A and B are shown apart, each in its own frame.
Chain A
Amino acid sequence: MSEGNTTAAETRKPIASPVEVTPPAGFVAQALHDPFEALMGPLFERVEPDGSRVSAFVADERHLHADGYVHEGMMMTFADAFLGGAAWRGSGDKPCVTMSLQASFLADVARGATIECRTKVEKKTRSVMFVSASFTVAGEQVMTATSLWKVLGER
């Protein structure tokens, strides 16, 4: 199970990523507290004028398959990180863990591409968050995801 951001994490020191990447225009680097996300990062974030959030990463050598395109494992890691954040915010800052995540791969993603993610909370109950997301490269949709999150401490 993966952990969304927890309130405890807020007080911990962020973990640095192994490479420096210039943030895409309008984005800032996210503070990462999960060692595996830091390893694959940096991950970036932008808050839109309407308050919605967009996350992004820039595909480099570390994210690729032998065929030269971004690995589905990296795309799903990115999804887990940002959809988890959406579940956490949507549940009123309660920690959430992944129960299920489904991804459809619509197009190959090339090295150097900036992959953006936008999320939507489809439904929330006391103990479960339903979060969907769309992933785009230069406006073209490359992946969609749906996910279920358990709100910890609720039943």
Chain B
Amino acid sequence: MTNTPFPAGFSPVQTTGFGGFAGPVMGGTEADGALFLLDIAPQHLNGDARLHGGMMMSLVSIVMGEVASRTAAAKEAGSGAKPLSLNCDFVSAGETGERVEGRAIVTRATRSVMFISGTLKVGDRLLMSATGVYGIKAAGAK
């Protein structure tokens, strides 16, 4: 499955530092919004040859973080978002060679915080459901 090319229009997100080193996570769009893809490779595994829990949380944090940052920037140019809290539920295991699909939606946004809900799936199988609360940084704020 990892030999399957990524769909047209997909390109790596968070390519510097952690995202680039842990990934690559590919980002693109589908009918309903943003879609993120990760092909599970040997470096993403745990000692049991399954997708490592840390990598699952890393992937969902990249998916939800991208959606949070883009939503904040769309409302006010230059503003961003940082996680205040993340909750990750491990529903099932990912296997090497599988392509994981990540999606996230903003369930509510106020002036200062955003509530985000995310999922990781392989086909119809849910691997992880997650929620995050993000603080919105105004443009120019640290």
Contact = CB atoms under 8 A, between A and B. Distances in A.
Nearest to B137: A67
Contact of B88 (A33, A97, A100): A100
Interface string B53-72: 11111110110010000000
Contact of B17 (A8, A66, A102): A66
Nearest to A146: B87
B131 to A, nearest CB: 9
A36 B45 contact: yes
A109 to B, nearest CB: 12
Interface in B13-49: 14, 16-19, 21-22, 42-48
Given A99-B90, A100-B89, A36 B14 contact: no
Interface in B65-102: 65, 80, 82-90, 92-93
B65, B80, B88 — most chain A CB neighbours (10 Å): B88
Interface string B100-131: 00000000000000000000000000000000
B61 A76 contact: yes
Interface in A43-97: 61-67, 70-74, 76-81, 84, 97
A2 B52 contact: yes
Interface residues of B, number: 38
A71 B84 contact: no
Contact of A81 (B54, B85, B89): B54
Contacts of B22: 39-40, 73
Contacts of A33: 47
Given A2-B90, A37-B52, A101-B57, A61 B17 contact: yes
Interface string A99-127: 11111110000000000000000000000
A59 B22 CA distance: 15
B73 to A, nearest CB: 13
Given A36-B43, A76-B61, A80-B53, A1 B89 contact: no
> Which 3 A-B residue pairs are closest in the complex by CB-CB distance?
A2-B53, A77-B54, A73-B58
Interface of B: 14, 16-19, 21-22, 42-48, 50, 52-59, 61-62, 65, 80, 82-90, 92-93
Interface of A: 1-3, 5-6, 8-9, 12, 33-37, 39-40, 61-67, 70-74, 76-81, 84, 97-105
Given A9-B47, A72-B83, 17 more contacts: A1-B53, A2-B46, A2-B54, A5-B47, A34-B45, A35-B46, A36-B43, A36-B52, A61-B17, A64-B18, A76-B88, A81-B54, A97-B90, A100-B87, A101-B87, A101-B88, A103-B86
